[in-house]
Amino acid sequence: MIEKQCTCGSEKHHRNLYDGYGIYLCKVCDDCEHNKLNNYRSDIMDRYDTCENIESDGDWDGHWE
């Protein structure tokens, strides 16, 4: 018999959690979804732009062309 309860011990049914790209992250329920999200980047649900400026704070002038 397959248990559908969440692993956090809430005894609630779990569901699959995906990030903004639709990539599977983990199983969550209403009780632990927020806690588990805290383990990931705060912007994981956003389709963040991959830009070469993202890791550099050198010549960033604060606005997009």
Site of interaction with Zn ion (CB under 5 A): 6, 8, 10, 29, 31-32
State the nearest-atom distance from the C-beta of 19 to Zn ion, in Å: 17
Give the residue with the Cβ less far from Zn ion, 35 or 53: 35
Instruction: Give me the residue label for tokens 């969440």.
Output: 6
CB of 10 to Zn ion, least distance (A): 5
Question: In degrees rounded to 5, what are phi and psi of residue 30?
Answer: -60, -30
Give the shortest CB-15-to-Zn ion separation in angstroms: 9
19, 44 Cβ separation under 8 angstroms = yes
Rounded Cα distance between 28 and 45, Å, is 15
Q: Which is nearer to Zn ion, 10 or 44 (CB)?
A: 10
